[in-house]
Amino acid sequence: MEAKRRRVRVFRECMICREDKGPSDFPGKVTDGCSHTRDVCRPCMARIIRMEISVKGQAAEVKCPTCSMALALSDVARESSQEDADQLDKFLLQRALSQEPNFCWCAHGCGVGQVLDEIGRNIFMTCQQCSQRTCTHHRSIWHDELTCAEHDHQQTCRERYSFTVDNSILQSTSNGVVYRRSPQLEAKAKGVAEWGTCVHGFLHSSDWVAVGDLFLPTAIRRVRVLQPRAESYQVDNALLQSSRSGVRYRTSPNLEDATSEIAEWGSFVKGTPVDQNWIKVDSEDSEDSAFLPICIRGLRVLKLQGGLGQYMQEKKVQRCPSCHQGIEKKHGCDHMKCPCGAEFCHVCGADYLGPDGIFSVGNHMHKKTCRHYRPWRT
């Protein structure tokens, strides 16, 4: 009986897989720094190490699951494989280099970096491996013919818009528009933007919309299939700091075709993007369309709005021209009285008071797009 007892194997439960395993699956401590009895089996520890390295990459930190003690490279090689230990060693080296202030990785993905004498704005690095240029300030592909400041301004004008995948004109029998790997109709990728759905992307050009890493054509066989959805914008003077009262509407996407109408600073307009530089604003009281530039002299003057701007557009909230407080009309006429004492038209914002107000001069002081406007009669 005593001999039989000695031959009984002592099983232990793994805290990860919850299986009872023999002593061979618990070969000593996970690392020398552990002060507890090992309760993670070797197969589970190997899976933890591989997952940590493959998922987190340079951020990988292999630790004991029980006490969070860091494993040395020799521990990783023993618990998993020498290949995993070498990969972790590579990641640790890359992480250490990335913490060097003058070290810059090549932005073209060749896996090579360099320690530079100087980094900063308008300084590029030529990779010794692939001979491509990297901006040391943005740590991205070098922006040819643009300074870092010009590149920043260009990026601020690059907004993410919404488009409806529209089949009403094309009348295609397919399920939708096929994504492309590049702005070419032949470079098809997996995935379809189905008819009637909404996609969000950047205007790569007038013919293409960038959706993540893929592209969609705005038209197929010269028939528009991506219809831009109306967005809310605030006319913003924060960057331009202009002394003028606002931005002039244009009759076409051309800075020279200015009209007498002005979108005042701080006001909200609703329109659809024409391209990267212009939006089309549809008037409620006229069939004619007007255009507004998104940027002037490279500085953004139309700020794409989220919740507040969208709410103000949908609820027709008008800002007081005096204190700029938003006033929402529930019922009654369009003659609004603000708590600050100002009186203005809820439709166009024209002032009722003062020597040039509607009370003093007449209804021709309303904006021409306002339904209360009446021409001056001599």
Residues 137 and 120: beta-carbon distance below 8 Å = yes
Q: What DSSP letter does each residue of 285-354 carry, written as one string? A: S-S-EEEEESEETTEE-EEEP-HHHHHHHHTTEEE-TTT--EEE--SS-SEEE-TTS-EEETTT--B-SS
CA 104 – CA 124 distance, rounded (Å): 10
Question: 326 and 312 in contact (C-beta within 8 Å)?
Answer: yes
Whose structure tokens read 């009669």? 377
The pLDDT of residue 283 is 63
137, exposed or middle or buried, with CB in 10 Å at 0-12, 13-18, 19+? middle
pLDDT of residue 200: 78
Task: Report which DSSP code applies to 270.
Answer: E
Helix (H, G, I), strand (E, B) or coil at 154: helix
CATH topology of domain 2-96: Herpes Virus-1 (3.30.40)
Query: In degrees, to the nearest 5, what angle opens at C-alpha 264 toward C-alphas 260 and 266?
Result: 170
Provide the residue count of the chain: 378
What pLDDT is recorded for position 221? 85
Tell me the pLDDT of the chain (378 aa) as tens digits: 455 555 555 778 888 888 888 888 888 888 888 888 888 898 898 888 888 777 665 556 788 888 888 888 888 888 888 888 888 788 778 777 777 888 888 887 777 888 888 888 888 899 988 888 888 887 888 877 677 876 665 555 555 677 889 998 888 888 899 888 777 667 677 789 999 888 877 777 778 888 876 888 888 888 889 887 777 788 888 778 888 889 999 988 877 788 888 888 888 888 887 777 888 886 655 566 789 988 888 788 888 765 444 545 555 677 777 766 667 777 778 888 887 778 888 888 888 888 888 888 888 888 887 888 888 765
Take residue 161 and report the two structure tokens written for it: 């818009």
The predicted structure's pLDDT at residue 156: 52
Dihedrals phi, psi of 218, to nearest 5 degrees: -75, -20
The rounded Cα 137 to chain-centroid distance in angstroms is: 20
Structural domain 231-314, CATH architecture: Roll (2.30)
Termini Cα distance of the chain: 125
| Closest CA relative to residue 62, chosen from 44, 36, 88 | 88
Q: Which residue type, as a one-letter code, is found at position 102?
A: N
Both structure tokens of 228? 């831009």
Please say whether the beta carbons of 204 and 236 come within 8 A: no
pTM above 0.85, yes or no: no
Instruction: Please identify which residue in the block is written with the tokens 């809820």.
Output: 346
pLDDT of res. 308? 46
Centroid of chain to Cα 208: 17
CA nearest to 199, candidates 184, 211, 187: 211
State the pLDDT at residue 313.
Answer: 53
Other C-beta atoms closer than 10 Å to the C-beta of 206 total 11
Contact status, residue 241 vs residue 216, Cβ threshold 8 Å: no
DSSP 92-152: HHHHHHHTSTTEEE-TTSSS-EEE-S--STT-EEE-TTT--EEETTTTEE--TT--HHHHH
